[in-house]
Amino acid sequence: METAFIETPLGIARLEGDEAGLASITVLDKQEVPTAVLPEVLEDTAYQLREYFDGKRKVFDLELNPQGTDFQKRVWHALLQIPYGKTVSYLELSKKLGDIKAIRAVAAANGKNPLWIVVPCHRVIGTDGSLTGYAGGLHRKKWLLAHENPVKQQSLF
């Protein structure tokens, strides 16, 4: 497994993957970038993430290889179907997966998503529209949703 670190507006992102695909992305709270060479296997991931943060990319085209249970993988696959700039509730996601009673399990699987941003768990909100839970912190979830908002508030000054 190769590891790389890149700077993002949300903090330092740690990327992990190999020839089988991207296994995880996490955003660290540290403000220093560890010195590491960007492995070739993670170059495209870093490039696409930079495009996303620059507002030039809405869909990722990466080979993904997250580790989890079959249920977690079903949830993560469903997250990939949420369009850029859109949100769904945990209840809607549970219905889409065919079991309204699985809402807590869906929320738990969402929270275990190892591929932040690329697998857009930040696009899942509470039924009442609240920004419920996000492993990276609600401030990051709020930033990501604002970044993807198709109707950005323009400053008049």
Residues classed as catalytic = 121
- CA atoms of 58 and 26, how far apart (whole Å): 19
Q: What is the dihedral of CA 60, 102, 66, 11, to 10 degrees?
A: 60
Could you tell me whether strands 88-89 and 124-125 are parallel, antiparallel, or unpaired per DSSP bridges? parallel
The DSSP bridge partners found for residue 146 are none
